[in-house]
Each structure stands twice: as C-alpha cells, then as structure tokens.
Amino acid sequence: MWCADWPVVAAHVPLDEPAAVFHANRVIARTPAAAAAGVNAGDRRRMAQRACPTLAVLDHDPHRDGREFEPVVRAVAEMAPRVEVVEPGWLCLAARGPSRYFGGDAALADRMIDVVLDITGVGAAVGVGIAEGRAASCIAARRAARTAAGTMVVAAGEARGFLEPLPVAWLRLLGEATPELVDLFARLGLRSFGALAHLDAGDVLSRFGPEGLHAHRIASAADERPSAAVDPPPEWWCEHVFPEPIEQLETVVFIAKRLADELVARLAAEGRVCTRLVVAVETEHGERSERVWYRDHGLAAMAMVERVRWQLEGWAAQPGGLSGGVALLRFVPDEVRSDDGVQPGLWGGRSRADADAARAVIRLSGIAGDHAVRVPSWSGGRLPGERYRLVPAASADLESPDDRLDRGEGPWPGALSTPSPATVHTEAVPAELFGQGGEPISVSGRGEVSEPPTELVLGSVRHRVAAWAGPWPVEQRWWLPGESRRIARLQVVTEQGAAYLIGIEHQRWSVLARYD
C-alpha cells in the first residue's frame, strides 16, 4: 500500500489547495492542486513558488509523518496480521491469507482503499498493489495510486512479465539500489528490468557485486526475501520489563535507545544487520501494540529508536489507544542479513565517539526538552540568521546527516560573501547610526546612504566607526504581501576592531550579526 505525497496528507492541509512540504529547500511532497500547477518533487523552493505563487510552504517533520500514519497502520492491521511499515505512507503485508478471507485479491485491495481513505480523507492518492514479490507489488501500488480505482493486481506467475518493460530507475525509487548503480545499468544499455533479468545471475554477481545481484533478483521477480537473510534465533530478542509502568515518552525512548544499542552491537559482532524489526509495546493494562519496521539496508540504532517514537506517539494520539504506562518493550529482529557494508562504514557512523555523542543527545533532550538540543539544518537564504535552521537533535538522523546538511547547488545571489559572522542574533538588537553632524543615517530607495556613518551606538555605548561597506539591499519574499521584507545591510568596523553586520528595516537599524 502506498500513499503518494504522504507528508502533505499528514500535515492536514486541504488537498485541493496548493501546498508543498520542503526539506533542504527542495520539494519532497506536494498536494494534487500544487502538482496541477506544475510543482514537482525535487524542485527548489524558488522554482516551485514561481510555478505557483500561492503555494503554502510547509516544513518537513518526520515525526508528524510517522504519528499521523499510525491510524492507517492500525486500520490495515485489523485486516491482516503482519503489517510492515517501510516508511510513513508506505506499508507492505502478506496478501495471501487475507485475500482468501476477503474473497480474492481484488476484493482485498478495494477494501483496503476504502479503509485508508476513511482515515486520510478523500483526495489522497492512495494505491494498493498486489503482486508476487515485494518490489513488484510496490511498483504496482505506486502505479495504482495514479489511477482512479487505486488498485492494481498482478496475477500469480505474471510478475516477471509485469516488470519486464519497466525501466531500472524504479530500483532507485524503491530504495533498493544506489543511484550510481542505476546509472551504470543505464549506461551499459540495461534500461529495463527485462534486459537485466536476461543476464546470468553469476555474471551479474561477478560484475556488479552483491548489490547488483540483489537488483537482478528483483528484476527476475525472485525477491521473496534476500538470499542472505536468515531467521534469527530467539536469543536475539531484546526486551525490557519496566518495574514501574512508565508514562513519560522520553523515558521509554531512553530505554529503547539502550535496547537498540544492545541489539545492534550483538548483531554487529556477528557481522549482521537487522533489516526487519518487530517492536512490541505492552501497557500495564495489557494493551499491546506491535509493528514491523523494514529498511532495506538495515536499521541502525537511531533508526530503531525513531520508529519506537513514531509508534508510541501514534498510539498515544489514538482514541482508545494507550490507557496506562508502558510496562514492556521488546525488540524482535525478524529478518537479519550479513552486513554488506551498505551502511556507513567506520568513519560514517560507528566510532565510539559517535555512539557516545548520540547517547548524550538523548539524555540532554530528556533533561532540557527536545527544543533545547538542536542540530543545524541547511535551509538557504540571504540573511545570516536564516541560512541554517536549528532542528531538534532527537528527531534528526545523527549518523547520516547528509540530507540535513547538503547545501544543494547554486549560489544565493545577494548573500554576503565569506567570512560569515561568528555570532548571529536571533532577536533584533537595536542600534543607532549617526553621521558627522550627529544626523541619523538613512538609506535611500536607490540603495545609497544619506552620508558616511561615523558613530555606531549600541545600548548606551558609542563606538567610532573606523571603516564601513555597503549598503547591500535585499528584498525577501516580495511576492507574499504579509511576509515581504526590505532590508539594507551594512558592515561596520569600530575603532576597537569589532565588526558588525547591521541592517535597516522600516527606518530602524539593528545588529544582525557580529564578527567576533
């Protein structure tokens, strides 16, 4: 089951109004109305706003996505025993049993659509695909989401034929292969699944390695489960029984982190990673929540913790959900496979310093609150205060921060050149600027100062101006009436050698940043 553009559905915006969720300044999801206006996933914010000026800009919030998806998972879980969440908006289940119960694959698919639309509201692009193999059914679901009926059933034995004409780029979309490998396939002329499936598996392995073999298995519709996967013995279970039922989410998350670390370390000692994890939570009143979480290249400890948080938040928000404190938390690795090094290696995520820091972050977030412990995330902009946003560290992936820190390409015209100020004020610090005769300095509409500044007043302290440069005007969001800003910036060095970036807006000067 696949719900297109889940982040906007989770944000509860009306789907017939243009809105888009941005991450790292790029569109990751948009409403059908925005799509109709020409906003595409991957667009930069400015391009999207040019295509659709009334576009509402929403922040990316993986927690919201996870939390809002929980009711959907619960509803589907009432129809099928084992529901596994790949990511919010995307889940997989074994259809054989339930479809017999509901009278056929098509009937099951229709019923699932009804159940999901009940929760998300009509208008969300939901698709259900049923086919042999994970990849084939995922592709079927994504294609179904674009159709009116929202379902697609690929009959038994026809999965290979279904995949044959499709381009290999699907592998990247499903997260089953890296963009580099897909590019390589395309360059070698292996453009469709059919072309790839016709090769001999042994040749593929020797030329492209294990990752290539994995792709080959998918292309030949033989991906029931990876060949290297084994059923984990029960001694890999990790659980924690709380002597006193715990009601604070943070405390449970803290324990979850410990369990996850323990599990990951135990698996790593045998050179394995967990690709499918069952998280079971029980309350003092005997209520139970069990979820299966899947990630194709293995769940790192932080990823496990993140999923526990989604599960609990979603459960707590559910009417008639969680009624008491948590009494038991259990991790059952359902599928593990040998660690083929897809995970970040020694430097990427597993040094002791990284593990220590991640633990301290959880602890600090518990003490000080999520919003007091933050990590930088690139958002782009012309003013020093808006180029990096600070996001809660507890919900950020500390092990692979590339998404968050990737600055994309292209310059920001109008942003100041290096060096950047070492202190950036988040609240306006008022300042005054005077010229030779004691007249306040203003900046004309053409971007010129009324006279050379000679004195900068901060609080009650007067500083002689030794050097200055600018003004550099910047217009922000002039297309949004309520949010437009017009600021002229000036660099000022005082006689003591202190340098400031000051700005004038509505005829008032303030210190934007300090080069200290």
Q: Using CB under 8 A, list all residues that contact other proteins.
A: 346-347, 351-354, 356-361, 363-364, 367-368, 371-376, 384, 387-388, 390, 393, 398, 401, 405, 416-426, 449, 452, 458-459, 461, 467-470, 491, 493, 496-499, 513, 515-516
CB atoms within 10 A of CB 350: 17
Cβ–Cβ under 8 Å, residues 84 and 292: yes
- Using the minimum distance from each CB to other proteins, give the nearer residue, 250 or 287: 250
Cβ–Cβ under 8 Å, residues 441 and 455: no
State both tokens at 49. Answer: 């706003």
Cβ–Cβ under 8 Å, residues 463 and 495: yes
Burial (0-12, 13-18, 19+ Cβ within 10 Å), 202: exposed
Query: Shortest gap between Cβ of 300 and other proteins (angstroms)?
Result: 15
Helix (H) or strand (E) holding 255: helix 249-269
Q: Which residue, among 475, 466, 459, 467, has the nearest Cα to 509 in the 3D structure?
A: 459
Residue position matching structure tokens 């070492």: 422
Alpha carbon distance 281, 381 (integer Å): 43
Query: Shortest gap between Cβ of 470 and other proteins (angstroms)?
Result: 8
Query: Shortest gap between Cβ of 231 and other proteins (angstroms)?
Result: 35
Alpha carbon distance 58, 60 (integer Å): 7
Q: Which residue, among 99, 123, 84, has the nearest Cα to 1 in the 3D structure?
A: 84
- Using the minimum distance from each CB to other proteins, give the nearer residue, 496 or 507: 496
Query: Shortest gap between Cβ of 433 and other proteins (angstroms)?
Result: 13
Query: Shortest gap between Cβ of 355 and other proteins (angstroms)?
Result: 8
Query: Shortest gap between Cβ of 97 and other proteins (angstroms)?
Result: 45
Enumerate the H helices of 148-231 as residue ranges: 159-163, 170-173, 179-187, 193-197, 201-219
Query: Shortest gap between Cβ of 301 and other proteins (angstroms)?
Result: 14
- Using the minimum distance from each CB to other proteins, give the nearer residue, 58 or 358: 358
Terminal alpha carbon distance of the chain: 54
CA dihedral 301, 302, 306, 312 (to 10 degrees): 50
Query: Shortest gap between Cβ of 514 and other proteins (angstroms)?
Result: 8
Query: Shortest gap between Cβ of 374 and other proteins (angstroms)?
Result: 5
State both tokens at 1. Answer: 């089951």
Asked whether the bond before 419 is cis by omega within 30 degrees of 0, the reply is: yes
DSSP state of 252: H
Helix (H) or strand (E) holding 239: strand 238-246
Cβ–Cβ under 8 Å, residues 30 and 5: yes
Phi, psi at residue 148, to the nearest 5°? -70, -40
Query: Shortest gap between Cβ of 348 and other proteins (angstroms)?
Result: 10
Cβ–Cβ under 8 Å, residues 67 and 306: no
Query: Shortest gap between Cβ of 10 and other proteins (angstroms)?
Result: 27
Burial (0-12, 13-18, 19+ Cβ within 10 Å), 343: middle
Query: Shortest gap between Cβ of 268 and other proteins (angstroms)?
Result: 17
CB atoms within 10 A of CB 368: 10
- Using the minimum distance from each CB to other proteins, give the nearer residue, 241 or 461: 461
DSSP state of 451: S
